[in-house]
Amino acid sequence: MRALGLLYHDLVKGNDFSASGFPGGDADRYKLDVGEFSQHLRSIASTTSQKPGTALDLLQSTAAAEPLVLVTFDDGGVSAYTHTAALLEAFAWPGHFMVTTDRIGSPPFMTPQQIRDLRRRGHIIGSHSVSHPARMSACGWDQLIREWRDSRDALAQILGEDVSVASVPGGYFSSRVAQAASAAGIRVLFTSEPTTRCRNVDECLVVGRYCFQRGASARRAGQIARGDWSPRLRSWLSWNSKKVAKKVGGDLYVKARLSLLR
């Protein structure tokens, strides 16, 4: 089975980075201007005839000639409600909004009512953990279970339905992270690995995504959604070089990155 996940975060107007989502230079790099994101959507729509689907479609589908396109948004910032959803709905596309549940109701993140409204409008709500650990793959087993289970429970109480979709914070994925997600009831787990190949870890389907930072061209978004190999290969090479640095550097990698961004 294959899926082509597109990973975005918050949308802001101009450089008003504090308007939505996590603060700091590390998070700001992933916040696209509203107009910039609109151009991405138009480029994606013009280069692929396939309408983006949902993770639930993926669970019910069999192998297809083309990977299913999935549009996802991490963190749970309020721009999901104020900007993103309406832009997607103009194309009749569903979005996947992954929520860090400790931040629900605290500005500039979504409120419970906004989360319910997004779901009522046909979008998918998923977990982005409870606390957004700096290095998810370094967490102990008990903490991993709590991050997945408690975030699922918090969202289920808001929505009045089960939540079985999640994404890994910060790109720190490991098989143990997926095993804990499966044990906690997650059935689709999005990572930040740029690949279309899906794989099963216990009862959980692991799905990769192609991430877009601020300044990424709309043309590149369209090319990746269309399945062009060149931008996908560049994304894969860049991600894997960072993966090695993260594994070798550990906490030092995180500290050095934040220091550089400051």
pLDDT per residue, tens digit, the chain (262 aa), is 899 999 999 999 999 999 999 999 999 999 999 999 999 999 999 998 889 999 999 888 766 678 999 999 999 999 999 999 999 999 999 999 999 999 999 999 999 999 999 999 999 999 999 999 999 999 999 999 999 999 999 999 999 999 999 999 999 999 999 999 999 999 999 999 999 999 999 999 999 999 999 999 999 999 999 999 999 999 999 988 877 666 666 666 455 545 544 5
Q: Domain spans of the chain?
A: 3-261
Which architecture, in CATH terms, is 3-261?
A: Alpha-Beta Barrel (3.20)
Cβ burial, residue 45 (10 Å; 0-12/13-18/19+) = middle
Whole-model pTM over 0.85: yes
